[in-house]
Structures are given as structure tokens and as C-alpha cells.
Amino acid sequence: MASKYSKDLLLTMHRKMYLIRRFEERTDQAYKQQKIAGFCHLYIGQEAVAVGTNEALRPDDYMLSGYRDHGQPLARGSDAGMVMAELFGRGTGYSKGKGGSMHIFDIEHHFYGGYGIVGGQIPLAAGMAFASRYRNEDRVTVCFFGDAAANQGAFHETFNMAVKWKLPVIYICENNRYGMGTAIGRVSAEPEIYKRASAYKMRGEAVDGMDCLKMYEAVKDAVEYCRAGKGPVLMEANTYRFRGHSVVDPAVYRSKDEVEHERKNDPIPKLKEYAIKNKLATEAEFDAIDEEIKAQVDAAVKFADESPEPSLEELWRDTIVEPGEEDVRPRERVLGTKVKWPSYPSGQELKVTWDLEPRQQAEREDKKAGLAR
Amino acid sequence: MPELMYREALNQALAEEMERDANVFLIGEEVGRYNGAFKVSQGLLDRFGSARIIDAPISELGFAGLGVGAAMVGLRPIVEMMTWNFAILAMDQIVNNAAKLRHMSGGQLRCPIVFRGPGGAGGRLSSQHSQALEANYAHFPGLKVIAPATPADAKGMLKSAIRDDNPVIMFEGERLYAIKGEVPEGEHVVPIGKADVKREGKDVSIITWSRMYYFAEQAAQQLEQEGISAEILDLRTLRPLDEEAILATVRKTNRAVIVEEGWSLAGVGASVVDIIQSKAFDELDAPVQRVTGLDVNMSYATNLENATQPDAAKIIAAVKKVLYREGA
Ligand SMILES: Cc1ncc(C[n+]2csc(CCOP(=O)(O)OP(=O)(O)O)c2C)c(N)n1
């Protein structure tokens, strides 16, 4: 039977996963050469989650993440050199070197960051989804967070509102089984995170996050549900980080056997085998892509390394918006590329025609519950 | 000019700005059907509907963050905190997200949001419900902090806050909502960052904000009878501080008393003293005095509650001290 996936899709997925893998290997190297500093969390092993998700989205859907945030923007199409420059703390980085590894933002590609407080991005995603609903747009917001973030109050507070207000947001818990050195089961009454959705009458499901195609299918289905206005989804992507929590963590809290076992599950060869077995691509085609990516990442590192630090005047920019000041468009600023930037309807054009609590329905329910108005 | 209560002035500002700009919405506990815990949003649900006047669950962190997310993509949320005591639960979203988004994104994002609600002592509410917390927020770059004292300023500054492209923290006063004053109708916008000389004087400057302004006024009236002419500078905005106005009044009177409802250590007044001593030291005829809330938690008993807070008598004593008058 022929595969239902196009060659183009599979090669794109491979290209992106391999880009993330290679990018992160070079990040690790550069950190050890002290070109990168601070907290730096690698995405190696989890590539299928970001890539499978991204290919199921529209480019104008919103996405945001925690501090393990190099993979998602690369999947979205961010410039690898400018992401690397951000890690190097250079003025040519996406945030001019002000954010670093944990705060990648690329608004042109609708990647809204990069947050260092565990779970802090969860309410933001609901707000972005609220804005889409408010303006009657059909875009969805995808928010990634770790398994440990599911124990934050923000998780519970937000899900309650997101369901009650039918917000078009997909929460993807990247369950890599550890929050730093703590196995999630040690600190969680319900370690299968997706099951917590039921407490909020929310759609919840688990998916194999080590398989790019399964991620793709699951997110596609969730997006359809969300775009149709049926409300939020909690998806638990079961995945594994092959490296420590951050580049300096030797990860002694888990056994070598466990890691070896999980490495057999590597999403990159898995997708490749699928494509070759289904005769959608040849080994040679994969090799050619890999060579291209290696050159792309070499160029990214070189770009970062040769870029200057931000100027000291930058200290006094980007804290408060002055009247009439425009937003910074990174690729335009750094590469001179003309970019498409999000624009929103003005408050005079916008018509808010929907109800969060439709009056008649609310009155009926009040009556049933014996409430007075 | 019509006379309005502080809460009515705020209500007018909300309604006018929501009328003017459909991107503006209000979210908070009890803001809709209940018409607001302090009735600031009276009648707005009926006028603007439930998509724009949103009754939130008791999830301060959650709905503060929801507001920030909406602001990141072009809406202009107003997040009402039932009181600032409860906003402590939302501090992470205000400080780590709202105040830092523009910086972390290298200027790609802006966050036009207003967090507003009553601050300061309530009446007989003990320590968890009676705190002046503005100094906490004044500390953070990336925020603006306002605390208007009069109904006219409340209206004009809320309008400015809603139109501002930055996160604005607005301290109203639990004890100010019923205060009356003349309020200009329609387009009355008071700029953020500008202090206001509420009373002209020549012997001493009393620098204050929010509810303490009224104690300063009482003190100034009594002092006048003793032949002492006090100027009152109402800061109105605590971040950014209006340095020019602070220095101007001190250069005029050469003596200053700073009145702050909150605690002394690391208070806003400490920063005002710093501005004065570093930039107008030679103009001073006496060390600057501060009148602040006592360095204790607020009690329930009437006598303890009163003793904890600044009042006109304490201000008068401080004024006499900077004037080297008898009995001070
Ligand atoms: C509120 C908060 N507490 C603690 C930390 C320190 N910290 C950083 S990452 C982390 C573990 C989070 O694990 P998880 O959410 O599973 O994400 P993962 O690192 O596995 O991607 C901790 C405790 C933090 N950044 N924020």
C-alpha cells in the first residue's frame, strides 16, 4: 500500500529534525568552548514533538514554549544563525542578545517565546487564544511545557478558564519523564498528565512523542477540533531527552540502560526507515539533506561567532515603549530582509459580536439553578 | 463641572475608553453581573456584553497571565484585581512576563495592559487585607505605576493607562472610592509621569500620593492657621518619578516631608529622598523627614489600626521638625 504521506512532507520533517539535532550538538560544543553561557537546555531526543506539531499547523498559528526552546523556532523556520547568535549573546540574535538561550522570540514566524519560569507561559497561551476568539479569527495557539510544569497552579487555573471559555489552544506537555533530576512519578499524584484534563472536562490524550508522524496526526486532529471552536486540548507527548536537563547536567539520576533503551527509539532514524521502506525517498537523498544541514549549521555557528556583541546603547532600549515607537523586526534589522509582520485590527474597525456567556443561555441556566439576576 | 465619586470617575473612564476602542476589555472577579466588588464596573456588562466584561474565576495568576497573552497579540486588557493584596498571587505574571516581554523579545513585543484595583488600608481588615503595596511594583523596570488621589486624576490617569503601550499598574484606594470631586466630562486625559502641585506654599513641601494626600491637606490647613505655608506635591505616578517636579518644589521651599502609607524600608519615599539629597542637597535647610506606616503589620483594633497609619498630626510634627519649630 502506498503511504498516505507525501515525499515532500517526510523530507521536510527529516530536514527539520536533523537541523535541530545538529544545531543542538553544535550548541553543546560551543557551550563547552565557553562561547555560550547561562542555563542552556538541549532538545536532543524530542525533535519529533516540535516538528510533527509544526507541520500540522498553519504558519500563522501561534506557538510558545518554556526555556527548552531552540527546537520549536527552528521547526517554525527561524534563521538558525540568528538563533545561534542569540545563544552566543550577540547583537545579531533574535533578541539582540538580551534574552539568551531561554528566551527565543521570533514573531515573524509566530513564535512567541521562550519562558524561564516553569509553567509561566501556560496562561499567556490562553490569552493569545482568547484574542483570536475575540477577533473571530480561526487561528489556534500551541503551547509547549514540561511534565513538571503540570504541577504548577498556572496549569490548573488556566485549564479551568480555557474550557469554560472554549479557547482555541492546544497544550502539549512534553513528558520527558524528568523535571531536572526528579522523575515525574516521584512528585506527581497522577503522572499520566493527560488524565488531568478530565478534571476540567477537557479533551486529553497521550501520543507517542518519539514518532514524528504520530505527533503530526495527533496534532492535526486536535487542530481541527480546536479550529472548529470546540475548545482546548491537552496532549501529552511521551518523549525522552537523550541529554541531561541542561548542558552541564551529567544526568546520573537515571540508568545507562534506560538511556540506551530510549535511544533505540530515536525519532530521526525512525522516520528515515519509514520513508525508505515505503520507497518515498532513498538513502542518498537523506545523505544529501544531512550534508546540506551540516553546512547550514556550520554557517550558523560562524555567523554567531563573527557577530559583534550588542552595543551598550542597547541597555536603554526595549524596556518601555516610547510613544510612536515601532516594534523591532529582527530579520529586517539584521539581514535586511523585508518581513511580513503581524498587524491587528484597530479598535475602530473591530466589531466584537460574540458572547462569552450568551445572555439567553445564561438566563436559562440561572433559572434552572434558582439564581436571581 | 459635575461632581463625581472616585468610583464613578473610574467607571466613566472605563466606559469611554471601551466605547472608543473595541480592543479594550475588562476581566476580573465579580466585574460583570455583580457590578464589581467596589462597584467600579457598575452597568458595564449590560452595555458591552460578556465578551468584553468578563467574570473571572478566583485565579489571579491565571487571568493576569491571560490578559498578558491577549496584550501580546494586540488587545488592550484591563485586569481588575479585587484588591492588590490578592494580586500577590499574580506577581509572577506581572513581573516575570508583562514587565519583561519587550526586553526578552529584543523589542519585538509590546504589552499594553492595565492592572488596576484598590490598594492601601481598608477599614478594620487586619493584616492580609490592609497593605500599601505600590513600592513593590515601583521597583520593576518595564512597568509604570500610578496612584491617583482625586476623582479627576483617577479618570484622567486611567484613560492614559488604557492608551499606554506598556503595562501600567494602577493603585486606586479602597478608602477613596466614595470621595467626591469635580471631574471634567469627556476627553480628560492626565499624563502618566507628571506630578501635580495640589496646594501652593512657600515654607515646606509635603510630597505624597494617593489617600495620604488628604491627610497632607488636613495638615496644611491646620499649619496655615499657625502661619506655616505648606506646598503639597501629589506625585500621582510612582514609576517613572517626576524628578523635575520634586526638585522644583524643594528648590522653592527648601524643606521637605514625604508622606507614604506603606512601610519605610525600601519605600518609594526613600527614592524621593535619594533624588533630593543627590540633586538638591545645597538647597535644603533641614534634613528631609519621612512619615510612613509603622514597621508592623496592620491590626484589627481601632486604636492599633489608627496608630499604624500616617495622619495629619504625624505630618504636622514632621513639618515642625524640618522647620525647627518648638515642640517638634
Ligand atoms: C517556577 C520555577 N521553579 C523552578 C525552576 C527551576 N527549574 C528549571 S527547569 C526545571 C524542571 C522543569 O521540568 P519540566 O517542566 O519537566 O521540563 P523539562 O526541563 O523536562 O523540559 C526547574 C525545577 C524554574 N525555572 N521556575
pLDDT (0 to 100) of residue A357: 86
DSSP B190: P
Q: Are B66 and A130 in contact (CB under 8 A)?
A: yes
**A146 in contact with ligand 1, CB cutoff 6 A:** yes
Q: Whose CA is nearest to atom 7 of ligand 1?
A: A118
In Å, how far from its chain's centre is CA A189?
26
pLDDT for A90-117, tens place per residue? 999 999 999 999 999 999 999 999 999 9
pLDDT (0 to 100) of residue B282: 97
pLDDT (0 to 100) of residue A293: 98
Q: Are A237 and A65 in contact (CB under 8 A)?
A: no
Query: Which residues of chain A have a CB within 8 Å of the CB of B103?
Result: 98-99, 318-319
Q: Where are the alpha helices (DSSP H) in A78-210?
A: 80-87, 121-134, 153-164, 184-187
Average pLDDT over residues A19-30: 98
d(CA A217, CA B312): 70
Q: How far apart, in Å, do the first and last CA atoms of chain A sit?
A: 62
Residues 6+ apart with CB under 8 A from A188: A147, A150, A151
- The domain locations on chain B are 3-182, 196-322
* CATH of the domain spanning B196-322: 3.40.50.920
pLDDT (0 to 100) of residue B327: 66
pLDDT for A251-286, tens place per residue? 999 999 999 999 999 999 999 999 999 999 999 999
Q: Which three cell numbers stand for residue A39?
A: 542555563
Only one residue has cell 495557539, namely A141
- pLDDT-derived band at A371, boundaries 50, 70, 90: confident
The closest-lying atom of ligand 1 relative to the alpha carbon of residue A152 is 1
Q: Whose CA is nearest to atom 18 of ligand 1?
A: A146
pLDDT (0 to 100) of residue A362: 83
* CATH of the domain spanning B3-182: 3.40.50.970
pLDDT for B58-76, tens place per residue? 999 999 999 999 999 999 9
pLDDT (0 to 100) of residue A222: 98
d(CA A352, CA A358): 13
Q: Hey, how many other C-beta atoms are within 10 angstroms of the C-beta on A261?
A: 11
pTM, whole model, 2 decimals? 0.97
| Mean pLDDT (chain A, rounded) | 97
ipTM topping 0.85 = yes
| Mean pLDDT (chain B, rounded) | 97
Per CATH, B3-182 and B196-322 having the same topology is answered: yes
Pocket perturbation via mutation, ligand 1, pick of A180, A188, A254 by most ligand atoms within 8 A of CB: A180
Residue B328 has pLDDT above 60, yes or no: no
- pLDDT-derived band at A366, boundaries 50, 70, 90: confident
DSSP A321: P
pLDDT for A184-200, tens place per residue? 999 999 999 999 999 99
- pLDDT-derived band at A1, boundaries 50, 70, 90: low
pLDDT (0 to 100) of residue A359: 78
Domains of chain A and CATH, by start: 7-311 (3.40.50.970)
Residue B269 has pLDDT above 80, yes or no: yes
- pLDDT-derived band at A361, boundaries 50, 70, 90: confident
pLDDT (0 to 100) of residue B206: 99
Average pLDDT over residues B180-207: 97
Asked if B305 is an active-site residue, the reply is: no
